[in-house]
Structure 1
Amino acid sequence: MTVDVANEQTRSVAQDVGDVAAPPVLVPVPYGLSLTLAEAKSVVHAAEEFARERGWPMVIAVVDSACQLILLHRMDQAQLGSIEVSRQKAETAVAFRRPTAVFQEALTQGGIHLRLLGMNNLTPLEGGLPLLRNGAVVGGIGVSGMQSDQDVQVALAGAGAL
């Protein structure tokens, strides 16, 4: 899987109305058939190896395309609080079909974006990514244990194995 950060897991379709260009229309990435347990294991293995090389004790969660947990892996000495956070990041990435970093960035803008804090089904912390196969969301990975920018590096390494 390649994560196209500029695309943010959505496709922008430009529309022209006469001489005036309309704003882009966001077309959501479709959901696909869920990844298999074997695929989830390869994602977790790649993420763990990346984290281990850096000495980062992480919790790695992989969910299917229906936000149901397939695999949860806690490395030795990973903080207990990260167990739930990693699962929530993976679920958010699948439920909204975009990286959780999108929500974290929106909150930094403040204003109307602060309404995101009222959503109980969203984790606005970097480290959750949708997993794609043939352009469709087939699952998600969530990683927690270090700082969010480190969590997402581990998630990207795992996603790259799919």
Structure 2
Amino acid sequence: MAAIHRPAHLTHHAAKIASAACLEKSKAIGVPMNVAIVDASLYLLHFERMPGAKLTSVDISMNKAFTAAGHHAPTSVYKEAVWPGGAAFGLNNSNGGKFITGTPAQDTEVAQAGVDAVLSYIKKNSQLKAKL
């Protein structure tokens, strides 16, 4: 019987670690943000809104998380392709309008801080388990 490969699932604990790192980076760069983290099923796992973050960006942050997780790529990869004449023009109308393209540089920087924090957490836990 063949083994079934299941993708790693982000735990709520790991999502909180990522969120804390995102909030810390957001504070460091002086841009209050909404932080949305989804799991492998693309459903919201954790959300935090910083004081001063744009209220209109609550849904945008959730949709960016949906798009990035669903395509295993940051939303910035679609920036050029979604303009009129681009290979993916109109793609932002898919998935009930939840597909969000493009991203300010700060979004990428803050999201990467969250990814780095989770990877560091995984590495530490792996090293600890190896010692046991």
TM tier, smaller: 0.7 to 0.9
Q: Which runs of 5+ in 2 are unaligned?
A: 119-132
1:95 aligns with 2:51: no
Kept in 1, the 8 Å contact 2:32–2:53? The answer is: yes
1:80 pairs with 55, 59, 69, which one?
55
1 or 2 for the larger relative contact order (CA 8 Å, sep ≥6)? 1
Q: Which runs of 5+ in 1 are unaligned?
A: 1-29, 127-147
Q: In structure 2, the residue corresponding to 1:113 is in which secondary structure?
A: coil
Distance 1:54 1:47, change over 3 A: same
Q: Per-residue CA shift, 1:70-105, capped at 9, x if unaligned?
A: 110000010101110000001011212221111123
Listed as ranges, the matches of 1:5-154 within 5 Å are 32-108=7-83, 110-119=85-94, 120-126=97-103, 148-154=104-110
Q: Which amino acid aligns with 1:52?
A: K
Kept in 2, the 8 Å contact 1:57–1:75? The answer is: yes
1:17 is matched with none
Identity of aligned residues (%): 34
CA distance in 1, matches of 2:59, 2:46: 13
Deviation at 1:54, TM superposition (A): 1.8
Q: Which amino acid aligns with 1:122?
A: F
Distance 1:121 1:82, change over 3 A: closer
More strand by share: 1
More helix by share: 2
Q: Which amino acid aligns with 1:74?
A: R
1:134 is matched with none
Deviation at 1:109, TM superposition (A): 7.5
